[in-house]
Amino acid sequence: MTTPPSFLHFVGQNAPKFISRLAEAVAIPSVSGVVDYRPDVIRMATWLDSQLKRLNVTTEMVSLGKHTMDGQELPLPPLVLGRIGDDPAKKTVLIYGHYDVQPAEKSDGWDTEPFILVVDEQTGRLIGRGSTDDKGPILGWLNVLEAHKTLGLDLPVNLRFCFEGMEESGSDGLDAFVEAEAAKGATGWFEGVDCVCICDNYWQNSRTPCLTYGLRGLAYFKITVTGPARDLHSGGFGRVVHEPLTDLIVLMGKLVAPDGTILIPGVDDMVPPPDADERAIYEAMDYSIADVDEAVGASVTLSNDKVTTLMGRMRMPALSLHGIEGAFGGPGAKTVIPSSVAGKFSIRLVPPQTPENVEPLVVKHIESEFAKLGTKNRLKVEHMGGGRSWAADYKHWNYEAARRATEAVYRRSPDLTREGGSIPVTLTFAESLGVNVLLLPMGRGDDGAHSTNEKLDRSNFIEGSKLLGTYLYEVAAARAFQS
């Protein structure tokens, strides 16, 4: 099914109107992680609901109950659900996004007011909090709907929408809702969904579009070593007592090697090596060591080989040390022996690893190394939480449709990527609904999501809206190459 030229033309011609609507959305400071902004998050939900209704989408705002933040009980922002189309002859696509944003103040280092969308005519950048994460992509779908409504075009697929307002603060209540609705079967909101599309990630760089088929999971740990009943003076007790910080430093040094190898027996061994087809994905990717150097501001990669570096970022587990509680870290000199210290580290997980199957390996290794110290101090190992990894079948017709759409709009094949971060609801959709999940990014790798001066390039917003619409037409045609 070919994308109507009239749709593509409409999106291009209405760019000023679409940017104006994005400005309206950015102006609502829907910061989910700050108590004082909760009314604004709910106001954003209401605004989004009204926009969808205007575009002939049947909507429902679903309460997820309450939660406690900073000692206050607050209503959770509602889910904004939508549906348009019930043609049994058409595929049904579920669209996910989030309407909440990260905190932002001009004093943080912004060049402009973060909740006023600034259009930089010289660079084409649309600067404002939420422009790329995730209000711009959500509005890209609204742009698709408006084009079809105005032009009198039938949508090529049935659409279901699930927009949440707590993604930046843990997605409270979302997983339970999705699982409960899926369990209802024919009476649930997600009945009949054939695939899922999520627009909440980014290209690897500023040049090449990508499709993302994997996300690493996380297991976060805390090692606490406790000794004396109180902090001690090193002049009186140095080389007299077992010092907790000395023990902890040794333990932290037994977790990961300087070359990135995880020293906990069995953790790296869980992951099978890539086959030739998978390795070819990394070899073809438009990404270089120079891109990493630019991103981190120094030439410090573990390897000078592109494929090794990319696999280290995307398909291998990674253990990172994050900090030590209880140790002296202020300016000046202080000769204290801390009585208790805690080291924190995390492991980014990849299939088939899970927090559950990695935890016992971690605990066993740390306890074994602690026993070798001969110390009289006490050890406590805590698993503080985490999330599971996810990987989809990138040969599925959902990905093939996205690839064809990307080639049609951007005139180049997208990279296939896995990301180091996590979007927990991705796995929830995949497991609860039993369908393929696609991550189809709109923004670029330099958009600065969560950072100061967050932006979405005008070209990505407009061409990205064309991409979303074209993707729906390719999904509609996907039965020709469905496996």
DSSP alpha helix (H) spans, 396-454 = 397-410, 424-433
b/e per residue 373-388 (b: at least 16 CB within 10 A):
eebebebebebeebbb
Q: How far apart are CA 38 and CA 43, in angstroms?
A: 9
Helices (H) and strands (E) in the chain, counts: 14, 20
Please tell me the total number of residues recorded for the chain in this structure: 483
Strand partners, 210: 415
Q: How far apart are CA 199 and CA 134, in angstroms?
A: 8
Q: How far apart are CA 471 and CA 74, in angstroms?
A: 38
Q: Report whether the peptide linkage leading into residue 209 is cis, meaning its omega lies within 30 degrees of zero.
A: no
Catalytic residue among 40, 100, 243, 454: 100
Annotated catalytic residue 167: yes
Cα dist from 370 to 231, 378, 407, whole Å? 21, 9, 55
DSSP code for 65:
-
Extract long-range pairs of 182-191: CB within 8 Å, 24+ residues apart.
182/432, 182/433, 189/60, 189/81, 189/83, 189/160, 189/162, 190/94, 190/160, 190/432, 190/433
Tokens of 75: 């209503």
Tokens of 46: 């209401």
CA torsion through residues 225, 231, 237, 238, sign: positive
DSSP alpha helix (H) spans, 262-345 = 276-284, 289-296, 306-314
Annotated catalytic residue 113: no
User: 68 burial class (0-12, 13-18, 19+ CB within 10 angstroms)?
Assistant: exposed
Q: Are 336 and 234 in contact (CB under 8 A)?
A: yes
Tokens of 338: 């801390």
Cα dist from 184 to 61, 144, 189, 406, whole Å? 19, 30, 8, 35
Backbone φ/ψ region at 45: left (φ over 0), alpha (ψ -120 to 50), beta: alpha
Q: Are 425 and 197 in contact (CB under 8 A)?
A: no
Catalytic residue among 49, 167, 454, 457: 167
**Catalytic site residues?**
100, 167
